[in-house]
């Protein structure tokens, strides 16, 4: 079997277009466009690329964006003061604190200070709670992006066995909540899971989000399973060329899976597209334009 390629790039384009058209409609009605503000602490090169892409995408879709870059050594108090100031600014629709933060700053404490109505990452404890209660107006970007890819390609989750490798707060755990809400039977695996390949082989839908290059080999995959690769890892190939690889051995697994997301061009583009959706959703929530944010 050669797997169908699930192109996140293509699905992301659909959402970007929807956001662009809706923002244009708001502007045509004389309203200000949604405004995303990103707070970056320090100079982590990965974060710098992500932040730049987020700001660039806002511009392309007609959203306002601002960026606050703080020194690595910024104190908790200074960062809190900035967040309070952003919370009080009625023109700002979404606030994103780029992770990871330096070790002296506790991410959960900092994110708890962001106004939950502008928490575009859905990481505030109130929004995480609402997510598990099935009553949230935003959903986390990467997990929602995965759900949208599955929906786009008509891959249902009802009654399916889903196995997620990785239990982080930004991918594994919230994805489990979203998959449960779609009536999948969900297993979350992690670095201490015993006999990971055997658990993974139970999956109808297998999600790899461990951050370990090509961890998932053909041995992990049941014939005909759908495989979603969240991992982004830098690897040097046999020719000394640097390349991006996922958590899945794409070539080998493509022979066994029925469908698979590539890296790049899979989950990655969806994460940014969902951030744009959430910024618009927060704006509509704040302006009472829709009760459930951006229903897609
Ligand atoms: P993380 O480091 O916070 O969590 C990794 C999880 O994987 C942990 O729960 C850990 O227990 C588990 N794990 C690690 N090694 C394992 C192993 N050998 N076997 C089983 N489980 C193992 O990572 P994260 O932030 O969730 O990100 C995971 C990967 O997804 C990274 O490569 C990251 O770059 C990528 N990512 C991509 C996007 C995107 O938009 N494409 C978004 C977020 C994260």
Q: Is residue 23 part of a domain?
A: no
240, 223 in Cβ contact below 8 A? no
Please check whether residues 162 and 263 belong to one and the same domain: yes
- 69 lies in which domain range? 29-115
Please check whether residues 97 and 146 belong to one and the same domain: no
Residue 133 alpha carbon to ligand 1 centre in Å: 24
pLDDT of residue 121: 97
Give the domain-ending residue among 79, 97, 115: 115
Question: In terms of Cα–Cα distance, which of 212, 255, 259, 264 is closest to 233?
Answer: 212
The pLDDT tens digits of the residues spanning 217-273 come to 999 999 999 999 999 999 998 889 999 999 999 999 999 999 999 999 999 999 999
Q: Is residue 88 part of a domain?
A: yes
Please check whether residues 146 and 105 belong to one and the same domain: no
**In angstroms, rounded to a whole number, what is the distance separating the alpha carbons of residues 191 and 195?**
11
Please check whether residues 260 and 207 belong to one and the same domain: yes
Residue 122 alpha carbon to ligand 1 centre in Å: 18
The pLDDT tens digits of the residues spanning 16-31 come to 999 999 999 999 999 9
**In angstroms, rounded to a whole number, what is the distance separating the alpha carbons of residues 193 and 188?**
9
Residue 120 CB partners (closer than 8 Å, separation 6+): 36, 94, 95, 96, 138, 141, 275, 278, 279, 282
**In angstroms, rounded to a whole number, what is the distance separating the alpha carbons of residues 275 and 256?**
32
Please check whether residues 79 and 168 belong to one and the same domain: no
Q: Which of 54, 160, 173, 256 is catalytic?
A: 54
User: Which position has the token pair 């003061």?
Assistant: 81
Contact 190 CB / ligand 1 (< 6 Å): yes
pTM to 2 decimal places: 0.96
Residue with CA closest to ligand 1 atom 16: 191
Structural domains in the chain (count): 2
Residue ranges of the chain whose pLDDT lies below 70:
290-296
Q: Is residue 152 part of a domain?
A: yes
Q: Which of 121, 204, 247, 249 is catalytic?
A: 121
**In angstroms, rounded to a whole number, what is the distance separating the alpha carbons of residues 14 and 19?**
9
Question: Strand 242-245 and strand 233-236: pairing?
Answer: antiparallel
Please check whether residues 58 and 176 belong to one and the same domain: no
Residue with CA closest to ligand 1 atom 42: 142
What's the first-to-final CA gap in the chain, in angstroms? Answer: 32
């Amino acid at each position: 079997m050669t797997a169908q390629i699930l192109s996140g790039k293509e699905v992301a384009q659909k959402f970007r277009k929807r956001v662009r058209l809706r923002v244009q409609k708001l502007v045509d009605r004389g309203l200000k466009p949604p405004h995303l503000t990103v707070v970056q602490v320090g100079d982590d090169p990965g974060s710098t690329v992500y932040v730049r892409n987020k700001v660039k995408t806002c511009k392309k879709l007609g959203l306002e964006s601002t960026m606050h870059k703080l020194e690595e050594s910024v104190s908790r108090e200074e960062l809190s003061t900035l967040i309070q100031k952003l919370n009080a600014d009625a023109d700002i629709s979404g606030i994103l604190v780029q992770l990871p933060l330096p070790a002296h700053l506790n991410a959960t404490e900092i994110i708890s200070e962001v106004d939950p109505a502008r928490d575009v990452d859905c990481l505030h404890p109130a929004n995480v709670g609402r997510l598990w209660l099935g009553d949230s107006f935003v959903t986390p970007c990467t997990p929602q992006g995965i759900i949208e890819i599955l929906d786009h390609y008509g891959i249902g989750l009802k009654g399916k066995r889903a196995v997620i490798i990785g239990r982080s707060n930004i991918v594994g755990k919230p994805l489990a909540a979203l998959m449960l809400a779609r009536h999948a039977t969900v297993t979350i695996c992690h670095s201490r899971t015993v006999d990971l390949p055997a658990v993974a082989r139970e999956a109808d839908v297998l999600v790899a989000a461990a951050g370990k290059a090509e961890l998932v080999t053909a041995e992990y995959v049941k014939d005909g399973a759908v495989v979603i690769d969240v991992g982004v890892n830098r690897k040097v190939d046999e020719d000394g060329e640097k390349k991006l690889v996922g958590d899945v051995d794409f070539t080998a697994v493509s022979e066994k899976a029925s469908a698979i997301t590539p890296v790049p061009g899979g989950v990655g583009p969806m994460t940014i597209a969902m951030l744009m959706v959430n910024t618009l959703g927060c704006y509509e929530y704040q302006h009472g334009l829709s009760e459930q944010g951006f229903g897609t």
